[in-house]
Amino acid sequence: MFPASRPRAKRSARKVRPHRQVRGLRTREAILARAVDIASVHGLEGLTIGYLSEQIGMSKSGLFAHFGSKEELQMATIEAARQVFIDKVTRPAIAKPKGMPRLWALVNQWLVLVEKNVFQGGCFFTAASFEFDGRRGILRDRIAAIMREWIGVLTRAVEEAQKAGHLDPNVDPTRLAFEIHAVAMGAHWAHQLLEDRKAYSRARGIALEKLRSVATPSTPRLP
Amino acid sequence: MFPASRPRAKRSARKVRPHRQVRGLRTREAILARAVDIASVHGLEGLTIGYLSEQIGMSKSGLFAHFGSKEELQMATIEAARQVFIDKVTRPAIAKPKGMPRLWALVNQWLVLVEKNVFQGGCFFTAASFEFDGRRGILRDRIAAIMREWIGVLTRAVEEAQKAGHLDPNVDPTRLAFEIHAVAMGAHWAHQLLEDRKAYSRARGIALEKLRSVATPSTPRLP
């Protein structure tokens, strides 16, 4: 999920005064922050120009000036959610030293993100994954690409931990990344649907037990 | 997910000739089989009377005769999917001896269900879980109740395996059920969204490794 390349808002061909452009970008960001929340609750298909317009008190035509179509709004919302994920999960985690500390931080920050209700309706990307996984089209392709990026980040973190001598070199990085990802996703499910208040502590316990079982004696101490 | 109590179709107060009633039930079942597929692809919110009517070539008024409202159709679709789950997962699994064989069969049959594309768009209940987990209402409550039932079945299977002497009595049944469930859900995600052809063999490998790690010497041989 890095480098954090984010598609920029299209610039109008007309010259825009700088402060106005900045306000436009801020407004766009504010709209998308609300859109991410709505989509996390009602799904990306539940995010319509009409509903969003009601929710933020902006005319439909005002919204159409920012996003030409529902699909464009959905795509921009996916990118905004990805940016939240980068800011709250991957960036703080890669500030940690390579190896087991970074691997654990990636998992833990993702759990914290959803536990703290950063997205109103639970994990945005898990919900979007299951909403679009049976369909075809650019939204599904983009969601799948972002999820491959995320699994790639986890897999590389496992490989780095092996190179740093923190983790058993015989472990299959793809398999360990899959397992840790699944346990975190299971926590989102149990927390959000079943209102299981122990879901996150249970997932942390399972993930730590798994990491300890493949750690070498030179692994820095895990929590 | 047992006893397999399934809400019956409401009977009309008017006396119906037996063969006609049977045909009505069959039609209802055929409609719901298609509705389950549509909902597994487009979500329960994407399942509208209008769309279903197009898909099965029955008039909207014909459909309204079976289901008075979209919500009633959605609820009936949830019950139909639950019945598929019982028929394909829980019933074959509980035919196995109590203990590790039954526990493994529950996990494996669930993986087989989705792997064989019994639901057109992947695991119906995982998708429904994430579609409704941020909302309130009777659909969410029913989905959550069915998922609690399922986790209950898995948890009881762990407890039975402990009683049968197949599984370490120090293991927390709730935690093991959570972990196995999460790994299977992770496989549905990777298979369906990422088109990862190794997702199911990987999930089976992880689940078996986990079960072997908590098995006692008297456990019947796992696959």
Dihedral of CA B67/B70/B75/B78: which sign? positive
* pTM given for the model: 0.88
B121 and A144 within 8 Å at the Cβ level: the answer is no
- The size of the A-B interface in CB pairs under 8 A is 139
Residues of B in contact with A134 (CB under 8 A): 40-42, 120-122, 127, 192
Q: What is the pLDDT of residue B144?
A: 98
- Cβ–Cβ contacts within 10 Å for residue A111, how many? 23
Q: What is the pLDDT of residue B14?
A: 47
A111 and A204 Cβ atoms separated by less than 8 Å: yes
In 3D space, the residue among B87, B92, B94, B151 whose CA is nearest the CA of residue B119 turns out to be B87
In 3D space, the residue among A157, A135, A150, A119 whose CA is nearest the CA of residue A34 turns out to be A119
Q: Say which of A126, A143, A181 has its CB closest to residue B130.
A: A126
Q: Domain B70-214 belongs to what topology?
A: Tetracycline Repressor; domain 2 (1.10.357)
When pLDDT is cut at 50, 70 and 90, the band that residue B221 belongs to is confident
Q: What is the pLDDT of residue B3?
A: 44
**pLDDT mean across residues, chain B:** 90
Question: Rounded to an integer, what distance in angstroms lies between the CA atom of residue B85 and that of residue B112?
Answer: 11
Q: What is the pLDDT of residue B12?
A: 44
A193 and B46 within 8 Å at the Cβ level: the answer is no
Interface of B with A (CB under 8 A): 40-43, 45-46, 120-122, 126-127, 129-135, 140, 143-144, 147-148, 151, 174-175, 178-179, 181-183, 185-187, 189-190, 192-195, 199, 202-203, 205-206
Q: What is the pLDDT of residue B128?
A: 95
Q: Angle at which helices A70-85 and A138-163 pack, to 10 degrees?
A: 10
pLDDT tens across B146-162, in order? Answer: 999 999 999 999 999 99
Q: Which residue on chain B is closest to A123 by alpha carbon? A: B130
Question: Rounded to an integer, what distance in angstroms lies between the CA atom of residue A62 and that of residue A60?
Answer: 5
When pLDDT is cut at 50, 70 and 90, the band that residue B184 belongs to is very high
Average pLDDT over residues B3-20: 47
B43 and A45 within 8 Å at the Cβ level: the answer is yes
Q: Which of A9-18, A120-129, A178-187, B19-28 has the lowest mean pLDDT?
A: A9-18
Question: Rounded to an integer, what distance in angstroms lies between the CA atom of residue B90 and that of residue B5?
Answer: 13
pLDDT tens across A35-65, in order? Answer: 999 999 999 999 999 999 999 999 999 999 9
CATH superfamily to which A18-214 belongs: Tetracycline Repressor, domain 2 (1.10.357.10)
Q: Which of A12-21, A98-107, B62-71, B73-82 has the lowest mean pLDDT?
A: A12-21
Q: What is the ipTM of this complex?
A: 0.87
Q: pLDDT at residue A121 above 80? A: yes
* Residue ranges per structural domain of chain A: 18-214
Instruction: Report the SS3 class of residue A215.
Output: strand
Q: Say which of B144, B185, B190 has its CB closest to residue A194.
A: B144
Q: What is the pLDDT of residue A6?
A: 45
- Give the rounded percent of residues in chain A with a pLDDT score beyond 90: 79
A104 and A211 Cβ atoms separated by less than 8 Å: yes
Q: pLDDT at residue B100 above 70? A: yes
